[in-house]
Amino acid sequence: MCSTDTHCENCESGYLYRGGDAANVSIGQGDVLATPLQMAQAYAALATGGTVMTPRLASAFVDPLTGAVEEVAPKPGPAVPLDPRVGAYVRDALKSVVTSGTASFGFRGFDLAAWPVAGKTGSAESGTGNDVSWFVSYAPADSPRYVVAVAITQAGLGSEAAVPVARTLHETLRTLD
């Protein structure tokens, strides 16, 4: 027995691609599922012009006894075909999200001239409660070295919860750079 009409529909015809599915998929709803790591990789590919970078969690390992440092170099993965004009257009749009768009309030007072950030806010519906708050970004925008992906469940709009967390991370990355 189905608990809701949606559950019944998915059980009986979930394999069908319906007209509304194209609209849902185009805005990241419906059957679209992505982890913060997957989004970070996608933004890294966009930021680099199509090179998918292999994720890493550290830039170096330090031996606690000897102090010896073993660098962990970034490793490029496969390339994604990205038209240079389309990539430039999207990168410019992502910069404007931070300077004058949905993330601008959260970056007010941040020195974007010294550490330009490009990114996009998002609010993913979870079906119950508040939305999942998203902000995926990279910096420095003109010479990207870092990607920051923040997803906070039950937090509402991306500009309200995820952007302040990402800003704090960018402030820290700037001091480390």
Model confidence pLDDT, tens digit, residues 87-127: 999 999 999 999 999 999 999 999 999 999 999 999 887 77
Whole-number average pLDDT of the chain? 88
User: Model pTM greater than 0.85?
Assistant: no
> Please, what is the Cα angle at 116 between 166 and 120, to 5 degrees?
50
Q: What is the pLDDT of residues 76-96, one digit of tens each?
A: 888 999 999 999 999 999 999
* pLDDT at residue 39 in the model: 93
The whole-number average pLDDT for the span 136-164 is 93
CA nearest neighbour of 139 among 176, 87, 105: 176
Q: What domains can you pick out in the chain, each with its CATH number? A: 33-176 (3.40.710.10)
More confident site: 54 or 28: 54
